[in-house]
Amino acid sequence: MKIKSLIPFALLLSMGMVSITGCQKGDLINNPNVAGSNSIVPLSLLLNHITATLIRTDEQPWGYSQDANQYVIANYSYYRGTNTYNFGNTSDSYDILKYALKMEQQASAQLGNQTNKYYALGEFFKAYSGIWLSQRVGDIPFSQAGNPTVLTPKYDTQHDVYKSALTQLDNANSLLEALVAANPTLANTGLDANGDIYSLTYVQWQKVINSYRLRVLISLSKRATDNADLQIPQQFAAILGNSTKYPIMTSNSDNLVYRFNTVNRYSTWSLGLNPYNNFANPGSTYVNISVATQDPRLFITSTPAPLQISGGKAISDFTAYVGSDINQAQAALLTSSNNGVYSFNNYTRYYASATGASAEPFVFIGYSEMCFNIAEGINRGWASGSSSTWYTNGINASLALYGITNGQALTVTFPISSTEPSINPKLLKQGDTWGTATANTTQFLANVAYAGDNANGLAQILTQKYISLFNNSGWEAFYNFRRTGLPALTQGGSGIGTPNNLIPRRWLYPASEAAYNTANNAAALSSQFGGSDDPTKDAWLTK
C-alpha cells in the first residue's frame, strides 16, 4: 500500500520559502514528514501492507502462472499475452522480507518482547519470502538480506535457506501457540482486524503456518533421504502427530483467501460483456484429465467446444470438451479457436464480475491442497495414517469449493462473442443459456478411487492436486510438475518458445543481483550451474 501525498505543490513551495527566509534555529536536515529509523510505525499498518502485497499479479486468477500451469492457453497475444516459457529474470521478494524485518523490529521496540503476535507473523513472512525466491532460482541472499549495513549480502545455499525457513515457521507457530495457551479466548479471536486483510484468528494463522510448512516439506521430497539434518519426514510426522501443538486446516473455512474489489480487480478480463474470452481456451492438460475421469468441475470451469455442439453432441457429453494445445504456434491456435475447435472458459463465472463474485474463492494456501500433501507424505512412508482418506478429503474439499453436489443441474452459458452460423447456429449472445449438465459426483469418485500406497496411488494424488489447484495457488501446480513430472505438462512444440522447446527448470536471477551484488552472484552461479545463469539446469531442490 503506497501513501500518496495530497499536499499541493504551491503549498510545498510556500513552506520552502518560509524555511529559507525565516530567521530560525532548528533541524534543517530531517524531514518531519518522513519517518526516521527510530520512529514508531503502527504495527497494524505494517501487517496490512504485507498481507495486501503478499500475492503477486502473476500469481492471481488468470495471471501468467495459470498459463504456465496450462490451465488456460492464450490464442491472441495482443489481448491475452503469449504462452511461451521464457521466464527471464525473476522479480524478487525482498519487499516482503524488509517489511517482515521492520515489523519484528517495531514489535520488539513497541511491545518490549519478541513473543508477541506481530513478531510471530514476522517469522512466517520471513520464511515465506525466502522460500518464494529460492524455489525460483536456487541459492539466494537470506541470512544477511535486509541488513542495511551489508550492501552485498552473501548467498546462502538453497539447503540452508530451507533449513532456516523451516525453523522460522516452527518458531512462528510456537509463539502463537504460547499466546493462545496463556489466554485461550484468543483462539477464535481475530489476530488484527485492522491489519490482516485475510481476517484470520490466532489459531487460523497457526493452521496456515503449519499447512504451509507441510507444503514446504513435501516440496523437499527429492531431498528427504540425502539431507538427514533437515529431518524432513520426521518434521512432517511431528506435525501430523500433535494437533494440539501443530493445528492444521480442518476445512475450507481455514483457507487463506485473497479477496478482490472493484479497484483491485479479480481479473483484468472481468469487464462485463466483452470479447476477451474469445482469446483464450482451457489447456489440454487440464481438460484431458477431467474428461478421462468424468469430472463435474469441468462443467463449471469450462464449456464444450462450439464445433462439437453444432455437430450434434450434448452439453453434458464429456467428449465435447476439447482443450487447447500449448505446443502449437499461437496463430494456429487462433484459427482453430475461431473455428470453434476448442472449449472456452466459463464466461459468466469468471468474466462478468470485477470482484469475482460468481467465481470460486481465490485460495492461496488451502485445505484441499493440504489434504493432498498429507496423502502424498503418507504414500511416501513419512507418516502413519490413511492416505486414501486424505486423498478423498482433498477431492471433496475441492468439489465443495465449487459448490458441487451430486445430481446438481449445472447451467452452461454460451462463452464467446460470435455470430458464425457453423458454431453458433442459434445466434446466441455471450452469456445466454446454452444448455445444462448434471453433476454425477458418485460416478466421478468411483472413477478416481485410490489405487493404494504405490506409484499409481501417488500419480492419482498428484493429478487430483493439479485439478484442485485450477486458477488458484499461484505457481504451486508448476512447482509440483517440476518436482515430480506429474501430471505431465505438454511440451516439445514451438509454442513453448524456449530454444529447446522444453519447459525451463528455473528462472534467471533478478537483474539487480548481477548489477549490485556481482561477486556473490557470480560465485553462486559457479557453485550451482558451472558459471552460467542457465534456466535449463536444476537447483539443489529439484536435482
Contacts of 27 (CB under 8 A, 6+ apart): none
Q: 174 and 234 share a domain? A: yes
Q: Are strands 280-282 and 155-156 parallel, antiparallel or unpaired?
A: unpaired
Mean pLDDT on 338-354:
94
Predicted confidence at residue 23, as pLDDT, reads 42
Q: Which domain holds residue 382?
A: 276-495
Q: How far apart are CA 489 and CA 481, in angstroms?
A: 7
Q: 295 and 162 share a domain? A: no
Q: How confident is the model at residue 275 (pLDDT cuts 50, 70, 90)?
A: confident
Is residue 475 a part of any domain in this protein? yes
Q: How confident is the model at residue 92 (pLDDT cuts 50, 70, 90)?
A: very high
Q: 474 and 513 share a domain? A: no
Mean pLDDT on 238-257:
98
Residues constituting the chain: 543
Is residue 313 a part of any domain in this protein? yes
Enter the C-alpha cell of residue 376.
502424498
Predicted confidence at residue 274, as pLDDT, reads 67
**Cβ atoms of residues 173 and 128 within 8 Å:** no
Predicted confidence at residue 30, as pLDDT, reads 57
Q: 487 and 525 share a domain? A: no
pLDDT, tens digit, 9 for 90 and up, residues 166-183:
999 999 999 999 999 999
Q: Is the pLDDT of residue 13 over 80?
A: no
Q: How far apart are CA 474 and CA 517, in angstroms?
A: 29
Is residue 50 a part of any domain in this protein? no
Predicted confidence at residue 18, as pLDDT, reads 37
Determine what percent of the chain is predicted with pLDDT higher than 70. 92
Q: 427 and 520 share a domain? A: no
Is residue 414 a part of any domain in this protein? yes
* Least confident interval from 70-74, 76-80, 135-139, 317-321: 76-80
Q: 467 and 323 share a domain? A: yes
Q: Is the pLDDT of residue 5 over 80?
A: no
CATH of the domain at 289: 1.25.40.390
Predicted confidence at residue 34, as pLDDT, reads 62
Mean pLDDT on 144-153:
96
Residue 14: count of CB within 10 angstroms of its CB: 11
Q: Is the pLDDT of residue 44 over 80?
A: yes
Q: Is the pLDDT of residue 35 over 80?
A: no
Is residue 262 a part of any domain in this protein? no
Q: 214 and 340 share a domain? A: no
Stated pTM of the model: 0.93
Q: How far apart are CA 114 and CA 104, in angstroms?
A: 8
Q: How confident is the model at residue 263 (pLDDT cuts 50, 70, 90)?
A: confident
Q: Is the pLDDT of residue 7 over 60?
A: no
Q: Which helix (H) or strand (E) holds 102?
A: helix 94-111
Q: Is the pLDDT of residue 133 over 60?
A: yes
Total structural domains within the chain: 2
Q: Is the pLDDT of residue 245 over 50?
A: yes
Is residue 84 a part of any domain in this protein? no
Predicted confidence at residue 4, as pLDDT, reads 34
Is residue 73 a part of any domain in this protein? no
**Cβ atoms of residues 305 and 341 within 8 Å:** yes
**Cβ atoms of residues 237 and 243 within 8 Å:** no
Q: 347 and 296 share a domain? A: yes
Q: 514 and 457 share a domain? A: no
Predicted confidence at residue 2, as pLDDT, reads 35
Is residue 332 a part of any domain in this protein? yes
Enter the C-alpha cell of residue 357.
463474485
Q: 344 and 458 share a domain? A: yes
Q: How far apart are CA 410 and CA 363, in angstroms?
A: 23
pLDDT, tens digit, 9 for 90 and up, residues 431-454:
999 999 999 999 999 999 999 999
Predicted confidence at residue 249, as pLDDT, reads 98
Q: How far apart are CA 134 and CA 141, in angstroms?
A: 9
Buried b (16+ CB within 10 A) or exposed e, 194-224: ebbbbebbbbbbbbbbbbbbbbbbbbbbebb
Q: How far apart are CA 101 and CA 40, in angstroms?
A: 14
Q: How confident is the model at residue 520 (pLDDT cuts 50, 70, 90)?
A: very high
Q: 151 and 176 share a domain? A: yes
pLDDT, greater one: 143 or 268: 143
Q: 285 and 432 share a domain? A: yes
| Average pLDDT value for the chain | 93
